Structure 1
Amino acid sequence: MFDKDKMLQLCNDWSKNTLMETLEIEYIDAGEDFLTAKMPVNPRVHQPMGLLHGGASVALAESVGSAASIMFVNPEKSEVRGIEISANHLKAKRDGMVYATAKIVHKGRSIHLWEIRITDENDSLVCLCKLTNMILPRKER
């Protein structure tokens, strides 16, 4: 049975001392086939012209899509690796908040394909991404 609160807590705990914490990404909603996070748009994620950096959008998308794959695997037995990501940057954003929602397109045993929509506070599409994750057996560390 899917436990939304447990999933969100797990994702937010894993973000400590990582790029996700640096970018202030916070996981805020989850369901059986989606995961949503938010990220503030401020100078920390700007490019030199004062706009949301495309790389920050891609980092947000990959973070959400990779974390979402954890919903379908046993993290004690499997690891998730992003192997391909593409992004279409559709709207400039200077400040406020962006929200990324990853929805599963294909859920195989070894490959997951996600569509990640990044929107603003008005639900306007800022960036559309596609992420492919490979599911690998967990190695001893």
Structure 2
Amino acid sequence: MSDDKTAVEVPGMSTEGTLLALMGIEITEAAPERVVATMPVKGNVQPYGLLHGGASCVLAESLGSIGSALHAATYGKVAVGVDINATHHRAVREGVVTGVATPVYLGRTTTSYEVVITDERDKRVCTARITCQLIQAPPGA
């Protein structure tokens, strides 16, 4: 793992005009075995000024979906999310959170990833699990 925190390009993926761009999510590492990204807390809060649980879910689903898509490509398939769950452990008011997705299962028809989101003190903020179905790529995809 590199300590370089600069954004990486994911083959076949553009973040322009996406929810990732709107939320300030930056992918710093991307492979089927591990996907890492950062997200600012500012702009992604609920009315009490705390990191919104939905923002954590967006980060988790994005990372699990990217890892699944990279894995699916080896079979000529695409990944679509079918399930996500998240447990929110602690509040965050400022700074940046980091999400790390690692596979629980990489199959030919489904994938599951665990996503751990931590704050700048490396304290666990959220634990999520996302499952994707791998389907045949539509024509032109």
State TM-score, norm by structure 1.
Answer: 0.87
Whole-Å separation in 1 of the counterparts to 2:108 and 2:82: 15
- Other-structure match for 2:3: none
Higher helix share: 1
Residues 30 and 131 (structure 1), Cα distance of their counterparts in 2 relative to 1, 3 Å cut: same
Residues 51 and 22 (structure 1), Cα distance of their counterparts in 2 relative to 1, 3 Å cut: same
The alpha carbon displacement at 1:24 in A equals: 0.6
Are 1:23 and 2:23 an aligned pair? yes
The alpha carbon displacement at 1:70 in A equals: 2.1
After superposition, residues 29-108 of structure 1 pair within 5 angstroms as 29-31=29-31, 33-42=33-42, 44-74=43-73, 77-108=76-107
Aligned CA-pair RMSD: 1.9
Whole-Å separation in 2 of the counterparts to 1:96 and 1:107: 33
Identity percentage of aligned residues: 35
Partner deviation per Cα, 1:58-113 (whole Å, 9 max, x = no partner): 00000011001122122893211110000000010011000000000111101001
Asked if the contact 2:31–2:70 (Cα under 8 Å) also holds between the matched residues in 1, the reply is no
Show structure 1 runs of 5+ residues with no match: 1-7
State TM-score, norm by structure 2.
Answer: 0.87
Structure 1 range deviating more: 8-17 or 84-93: 8-17
Residues 32 and 73 (structure 1), Cα distance of their counterparts in 2 relative to 1, 3 Å cut: closer
Asked if the contact 2:26–2:38 (Cα under 8 Å) also holds between the matched residues in 1, the reply is yes
- Other-structure match for 2:5: none
